[in-house]
Amino acid sequence: MADHIISHEPATGAELWRGRIGDVGEAVERARAAAPAWAREPHTRRIELVRRFANQVRKQAEPFAELIARETGKPLWEARTEVDAVIAKVEISVKAYSERTGAKKLDSALQGHAGLRHKPHGVMAVLGPYNFPAHLPNGHIVPALIAGNAVVFKPSEKTPAVGHFLVQCFHAARIPADVIQCVTGGPREGKALVEHPGIDGVLFTGSARAGIAINRRLADNPGKIVALEMGGNNPLVVADTPLVDDAAALIVQSAFTTAGQRCTAARRLIVVDAMYDRLIPALTTLTKRLIVGEPFADPQPFMGPVIDNATADLLTESHEVLVSRGGKPIVPIIRLQPDRPFLSPALLDTTDLAERPDIELFGPLLQVIRVADLEQAITVANDTRYGLSAALIGGSPEEYDRFWAEIRAGIINWNRPTTGASSAAPFGGIGLSGNHRPAAYYAADYCAYPVASNAVEQPRSTLGIGLSDAEVAPPPGWRKTVRDT
């Protein structure tokens, strides 16, 4: 059994980083020992330290972005936006902590008070994905630390270098090393971390398959808080609009940013019949113009490779299966380099498929479905077990109101990409997309639990009912009963 994790650059295949597989048991033991002192720190002190962390990331912004670009394959311009999101997450989380889990006085009783405060759970396990290896786990870690939890973080085995860099920034900000730890490993270490009795909560971002496995493992342990942020088979509906080129640009942004490796990426483009013949030629032309290249190319590419060759193989095979079942390639998926995972963005008309697989194809493959009208579009859009993101392009305000009311998703946009979500809002979905514990602004909710209190300085109380004027005589034979027992 290998005792190291090795990370390779998707764009070149070169070894980027290697490190020893971590000891989950030791990490959890250290976190448990450190958690009480961290929880006792005033929350103002914890906030000060995470703000120092933001400053550390700001100082290291360019090398951090370069590392993200090299390890994920995403273009440098996009890696820079991820670093910006890491920094911004701190102030968003500070505000959310105060608003969502701050202390509250509930009344003004003359002889005491009732109040609401929140406590940290203890030690939280954070399992991160590879597509946003800094931003997404950071979205769990920062709120957990502010709330007073210790954190054991296992990055994706495909992006361990970014995970370690992120944690080093926390340590450089003087957050104790045992309070936030990075444990390198694969599925075995992830499973051990999830099931460890010293873990009080599991915060996961990744595939539905992995999230369901976590949920099953912890089904008989309701004492562990579990927040699952999973993927989607996201619909993008196009109704009538005269702005065809704008619609095409929104579709490309939704489907092909990050090489389609976003949980909110559009997977199904559902076009009403009146728009199909106007939209598809414009979308085809724009899709064929997209530059696919290595992260530091000049000019900068729109998208880089997918994460590895195995993922590229799966996507090309999925494309072939859909074609064999009746799918019609509009822009076929092409393996641009035989030994590297560069894929061209693909459009595939699956209107005539008798049965479309309800799966998340995590890459630049967009299925196009032609429908008669908005009513049928909504029906097709909802034909999925997922429910993360959906968007409507075109249509009237009344049609958007109907779309919003009838679509099953946690994010519903109008004339914006499916990938657009406000940092001041919750981020999550329903069905196979999550377990009703949304992240982003609502992450504070699962990082602490509420404690209601009634308190007075002196124990004062009387009984005003149910008392006799004298002592009540015991029933006959009560002493014998006591002796016999």
Show me where the domains of the chain are located: 4-230+434-453, 234-423
Per-residue confidence (pLDDT) for residue 341, from 0 to 100? 98
Number of H helices, E strands in the chain: 15, 21
Report residue 473's pLDDT band, with 50, 70 and 90 as the boundaries. Answer: confident
pLDDT of residue 270 exceeding 90: yes
Tokens of 39: 């929880």
Cβ contact 19:133 at 8 Å:
no
CATH number of 234-423: 3.40.309.10
- pLDDT for res 40: 97
The single-letter code of the amino acid at 121 is: H
Note the pTM of the prediction, 2 decimals: 0.94
Q: What's the pLDDT at 485?
A: 47
Give the pLDDT score at 480.
Answer: 56
Q: What percent of the chain has pLDDT over 90?
A: 88
Distance from C-alpha of 219 to C-alpha of 210, rounded to nearest angstrom: 14
Burial of 308 (0-12, 13-18, 19+ CB in 10 A): middle
For 393-402, what is each residue's pLDDT tens digit?
Answer: 999 999 999 9
Instruction: Tell me how far apart the 2 most distant CA atoms of the chain are, in Å.
Output: 98
The confidence score (pLDDT) of residue 475 equals 78
Distance of CA 434 to the CA centre of its chain: 9
Query: Going by DSSP bridges, is the β-strand pair 426-427/439-440 parallel, antiparallel, or unpaired?
Result: antiparallel
Split at pLDDT 50, 70, 90, the class of 461 is confident
Please tell me the predicted confidence (pLDDT) of residue 479: 66
Considering only CA atoms, which of 46, 25, 7, 36 is closest in space to residue 152?
Answer: 25
4-38 as b/e: b if 16+ CB within 10 A: ebebbbbbeeeebbebebbebeebbebbbebbeeb
Spatial distance between the Cα atoms of 153 and 156, rounded to a whole number of angstroms: 10
Q: Which of 12-16, 116-120, 471-475 has the lowest mean pLDDT?
A: 471-475
Tell me which residue of 216, 231, 257 sits closest to 384, measured CA to CA: 231
Give pLDDT tens digits for 164-180: 999 999 999 999 999 99
Query: pLDDT: is 125 or 475 the higher one?
Result: 125
pLDDT (tens digit per residue) in 354-384:
999 999 999 999 999 999 999 999 999 999 9
pLDDT value at residue 214: 96
- Which residues are CB-neighbours of 92 under 8 A, at least 6 positions away? 423, 424, 440, 441
Average pLDDT over residues 135-154: 98
Expressed in percent and rounded to 5, the helix, strand and coil fractions of the chain are: 40, 20, 40
Q: Tell me the pLDDT tens digit for each residue of 313-343.
A: 999 999 999 999 999 999 999 999 999 999 9
Which of 211, 274, 265 has the alpha carbon at shortest distance from 233? Answer: 265
R_g of the chain, CA atoms, integer Å: 27
Fold for domain 4-230+434-453? Answer: Aldehyde Dehydrogenase; Chain A, domain 1 (3.40.605)
Report the alpha-carbon distance of residue 88 to residue 273 in Å, rounded.
42
Q: Before 299, cis peptide (omega within 30)?
A: yes
Which residues are part of the catalytic machinery? 229, 263
Q: Percentage of the chain surpassing pLDDT 70? A: 97
Q: Cβ(24)–Cβ(185) under 8 Å?
A: yes
- Confidence tier at 404 by pLDDT (50, 70, 90): very high
